[in-house]
Amino acid sequence: MVYHIPALLQESIDGLNIRPDGVYVDVTFGGGGHSMEILKRLTTGKLIAFDQDDDARLNAPDDQRFLFLHQNFRFLQNNLLFNNIRNIDGLIADLGVSFHQFDVPERGFTFRQDAPLDMRMDKNSRVTASYLLNSAEESNLADIFYNFGELTNSRRIAREIITARTAKPITTVNDMIGAIGKLAPFRQEHKFYAKVFQALRIAVNHEIEYLKEMLEQSLTVLNSGGRLVVITYHSLEDRVVKNFMKTGNFEGEEKKDFYGNIETPFKLLNRKGTTPGDEEIANNNRSRSARLRISEKI
């Protein structure tokens, strides 16, 4: 089984502008695709990789230039300091769920196969999708589906879940589909379930919250001239990254100095982002929603 095929691999590695003696961080190690390419370009440099998934560390290479940290990237700065690293020359984040996580049914990330509703990136975390569905209040569930799935009928989805769980706990993919299936638009069922499952996954793993924490720390640890390279896969996380790179905040509010010049911590290197070409999408259909953003710390 292929663990993961990285999207926009060459473009993202080129975007890091790697120096052979530089210090780089891959905060989403996964199958190691980006890390291996970075290592090819290092001589005396160092690469630190983060991943909270137990399965990912099995892909870590035995290389003295490489350090694998079994940690969530929200702990970026503390882990670097613990390893006597104060500043870095580049950081890359590929925010997509790995093929491995989607393709192993028991991880519960996909609606295409019946399995326990787990969805934890970190298998040591206590909160699963099933726990969330069976314990959260109706208003909280509605907020999850509206904010993280951009589903306009989020309140009705939440109501159907509450009704279903009073009869029997929702513990599997089929339980979930049985609870909300009548709300799936005709011939758009897959798109509907994809949004529902995306919302649950984001909530279970605090993805937007932790992404913001990591980005704020990246600004602190990057050297002047250091590159921030991020690949997003849906509009919610892309908006966060775009606003942060453009303005240094998550609201996208431009701040100006006394003379009216816009103050920003980054120089945007591909203002509209880079998306996969037809050939890459044909070879890796899962890359179709990827968008690469590259910036340089001023």
3-state helix, strand and coil shares in percent for the chain, rounded to the nearest 5: 45, 15, 40
Distances 78 to 41, 166, 213, 222 between C-alpha atoms, Å: 26, 43, 12, 14
Q: Note the pLDDT of residue 102.
A: 53
| 118 touches 107 (CB < 8 A) | yes
Interval 218-222 mean pLDDT: 98
Q: Note the pLDDT of residue 100.
A: 52
111-169 confidence digits (pLDDT tens): 888 999 999 998 889 999 999 999 999 999 999 999 999 999 999 999 999 999 999 99
Q: Note the pLDDT of residue 96.
A: 85
pTM for the complete prediction?
0.93
| CATH numbers and ranges of domains, the chain | 9-99+210-297 (3.40.50.150), 110-205 (1.10.150.170)
69-81 confidence digits (pLDDT tens): 999 999 999 999 9
230-248 confidence digits (pLDDT tens): 999 999 999 999 999 999 9
* pLDDT > 90 fraction of the chain, expressed in percent and rounded: 85
242-274 confidence digits (pLDDT tens): 999 999 999 999 988 888 888 999 999 999 999
| 292 touches 241 (CB < 8 A) | no
Interval 65-69 mean pLDDT: 98
If you compute the radius of gyration of the chain from its CA atoms, what whole number of angstroms results?
20
Question: What is the Cβ-side half-sphere exposure of residue 66, based on CA atoms within 13 angstroms?
Answer: 21
| 81 touches 220 (CB < 8 A) | no
Residue 103: pLDDT over 90: no
Residue 109: pLDDT over 80: no
- Amino acid letter for position 8: L
Supply the mean pLDDT for the chain. Answer: 94
